Amino acid sequence: EIQADIYRKDDRLITLLKDVYVESRDPPARVKDGGGEHLPCKLEEKRLTKLGHLGDLDVKKVPKGKISIVEALMLLNNHKLQPQIWTAEKIAEEYSLELKEVSSLLEFFIPFTVQEFPKETKKAI
């Protein structure tokens, strides 16, 4: 009985559908020609890295205001070995960094040191 109701035509609904008229219009398509709408893109200023003999291990150019991993290790080691020469101000100027960031870097990041105990104190441990 349900199948029969599904396939049965309802003449009243068919006449109502014939009276319905739908008109649809899409907005006119705009062609992007690329003229005049381009904004100048911000070019990032880069600098060559100061790597010395470790140049093959790292990138060659970094954005100004940033340093590479090898440069960070080198400047931390230089500061550790010669803090009177490699001050935060000199490092900031040499690597184009902000003084506040260099001061934080020198304060919170310390390179590891390997300490070897003399043999006679090993027995005491």
**Domain of 56?**
46-109
| CA-atom Rg of the chain in angstroms | 36
At residue 52, the pLDDT reads 58
Domain annotation covers residue 20: no
Residue 34 maps to a domain: no
Asked whether residue 32 is assigned to any structural domain, the reply reads no
**Is 115 contained in some domain?**
no
What was the pLDDT predicted at 53? 55
Tally the domains of the chain: 1
What is the reported pLDDT for 41?
A: 57
Which pLDDT does position 89 carry in this prediction? Answer: 93
In a domain, 72, yes or no: yes
Query: What is the residue-level pLDDT of the chain in tens, covering all 125 positions?
Result: 888 888 888 888 888 888 888 888 888 777 665 555 555 556 666 666 665 555 555 667 778 888 888 888 888 988 988 999 999 999 999 888 999 999 999 988 877 776 777 777 555 55
Does any domain span residue 25? no
Q: Reduced to 3 states, what is the DSSP secondary structure of residue 62?
A: strand
Helix axes 99-108, 69-81, angle to 10 degrees: 70
Q: Is residue 117 part of a domain?
A: no
Assess if residue 51 is contained within a domain.
yes
Q: How many CB atoms lie within 10 A of CB 68?
A: 19
